[in-house]
């Protein structure tokens, strides 16, 4: 099943691009798209924009050293960062793959296709906005400004890298772990809990926080567990290794018991049923972002 990327974007509470500082190091990101229509990154992403800024100066250079370019206060080699200052977009030591993840707010694992250099060749990028664009962005609230910055970056990638994309649902599907519509039912772990009465190792010592065990064939118990670890366990133990991406935006650790024996379905299907009922979480099919074409940029 193929779903074309939307031109109207929804800004989640979790955001990627920093509006002021530049110390943003790359990590997993999330992006949601609405209204399935065709898109080419350099133009259609602008169709609902109130602002159509242009860049008065752009520099794109291959980064062959792994070190950060001037303007980033990052310690050590092999640092990667992306961000906006009030008057410009900057990125250092990043491949196009990472720029796409930032612009469309997706995890790197959600991007498929494209030539090998999209992932292997790193760039330093500095693109200074024109004065009208700077002025218009300065008038926006934080959420709206971040949305416009992502759209600016999408258009920039289409223009400079000739990037074209589409969304596609693959079979077997990948999944997003999200909070269910009826709300979260997880219990947040007590800070500092050592779980003296919880699971123990073979020598009788408490396993403590972070333990995630299966005491039965379809039962899962967590002690102070991060949602990213739950997503990995659901993938490997219940869904045959199908990708599960954590999009709950939950930063704490949680205690829970998931018992699939209450569902009279096949193993994997029962997890889809009991997650909302017992934990207030759900697994939703994930559309992958597929690169149709891209070209190496000129350095100016």
Instruction: Read off the pLDDT of each residue in 83-91 and give the average, rounded to a whole number.
Output: 90
Residue 63 confidence class, pLDDT cut points 50, 70, 90: very high
Q: Is 32:10 a contact under the CB 8 Å cutoff?
A: yes
pLDDT digits (tens, 9 = 90+) for 24-61: 443 332 222 222 223 334 333 444 445 566 788 999 99
Per-residue confidence (pLDDT) for residue 39, from 0 to 100: 36
Task: Compute φ and ψ for 239, nearest 5 degrees.
Answer: -125, 20
Per-residue confidence (pLDDT) for residue 296, from 0 to 100: 96
Per-residue confidence (pLDDT) for residue 286, from 0 to 100: 86
Instruction: Read off the pLDDT of each residue in 124-131 and give the average, rounded to a whole number.
Output: 92
DSSP state of 229: H
Cα separation of 278 and 255, whole Å?
12
Q: Is the pLDDT of residue 10 over 70?
A: no
pLDDT digits (tens, 9 = 90+) for 239-294: 888 889 898 989 899 999 998 775 544 555 678 889 999 999 999 988 889 999 99
The string of DSSP letters for 19-83 reads SS----B------EE-S-----TTTGGGTT-S----EEEEEEEE--S-PPPTT----SSS--EEE
Q: What rounded mean pLDDT belongs to the chain?
A: 78
Residue 75 confidence class, pLDDT cut points 50, 70, 90: low
Per-residue confidence (pLDDT) for residue 106, from 0 to 100: 86
Per-residue confidence (pLDDT) for residue 76, from 0 to 100: 55
Residues 6+ apart with CB under 8 A from 251: none
Q: Is the pLDDT of residue 224 over 90?
A: yes
Per-residue confidence (pLDDT) for residue 73, from 0 to 100: 63
Instruction: Read off the pLDDT of each residue in 97-123 and give the average, rounded to a whole number.
Output: 93
Per-residue confidence (pLDDT) for residue 170, from 0 to 100: 80
Task: Using alpha carbons, list the distances in angstroms from residue 213 to 209, 233, 254, 283.
Answer: 12, 9, 14, 20
Q: Is the pLDDT of residue 17 over 60?
A: no
Q: Is the pLDDT of residue 21 over 50?
A: no
What predicted TM-score, i.e. pTM, was given to this entire model? 0.62
Higher pLDDT, 269 or 109: 109
Higher pLDDT, 109 or 62: 62
Q: Is 8:50 a contact under the CB 8 Å cutoff?
A: no
Reading the block at residue 23, the tokens are 């110390």
Cα separation of 120 and 294, whole Å?
14
Share of the chain above pLDDT 70, in %: 76
Higher pLDDT, 29 or 105: 105
Per-residue confidence (pLDDT) for residue 48, from 0 to 100: 44
Higher pLDDT, 39 or 185: 185
Least trusted range by pLDDT, from 61-70, 156-165, 282-291:
61-70
């Amino acid at each position: 099943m193929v779903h074309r990327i939307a031109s109207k974007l929804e800004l989640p509470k979790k955001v990627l691009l920093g509006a002021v500082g530049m110390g943003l190091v790359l990590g997993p990101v999330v992006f949601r798209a609405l209204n399935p229509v065709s898109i080419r990154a350099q133009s259609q992403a602008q169709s609902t924009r109130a602002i159509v800024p242009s860049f008065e100066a752009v520099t794109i250079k291959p980064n062959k050293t792994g070190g950060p370019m001037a303007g980033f206060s990052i310690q050590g080699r092999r640092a990667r960062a992306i961000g906006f200052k009030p008057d410009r977009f900057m990125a250092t030591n990043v491949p196009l793959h990472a720029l796409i993840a930032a612009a469309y707010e997706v995890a790197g694992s959600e991007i498929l296709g494209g030539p090998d250099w999209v992932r292997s060749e790193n760039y330093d990028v500095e693109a200074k906005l024109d004065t009208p664009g700077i002025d218009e962005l300065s008038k926006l609230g934080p959420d709206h400004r971040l949305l416009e910055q992502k759209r600016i970056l999408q258009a920039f990638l289409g223009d400079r890298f000739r990037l074209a994309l589409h969304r596609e649902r693959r079979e077997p599907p990948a999944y997003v772990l999200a909070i269910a519509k009826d709300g979260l039912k997880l219990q947040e772990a007590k800070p500092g809990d050592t779980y003296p009465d919880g699971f123990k190792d073979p020598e009788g010592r408490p396993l403590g926080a972070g333990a995630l065990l299966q005491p039965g064939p379809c039962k899962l118990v967590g002690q102070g567990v991060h949602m990213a670890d739950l997503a990995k366990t659901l993938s490997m133990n219940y869904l045959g290794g199908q990708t599960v991406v954590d999009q709950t935006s939950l930063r704490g650790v949680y205690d829970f018991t998931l018992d699939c024996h209450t569902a009279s379905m096949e193993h994997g299907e029962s997890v889809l049923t009991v997650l909302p009922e017992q934990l207030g979480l759900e697994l939703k099919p994930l559309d992958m972002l597929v690169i149709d074409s891209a070209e190496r940029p000129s350095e100016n």
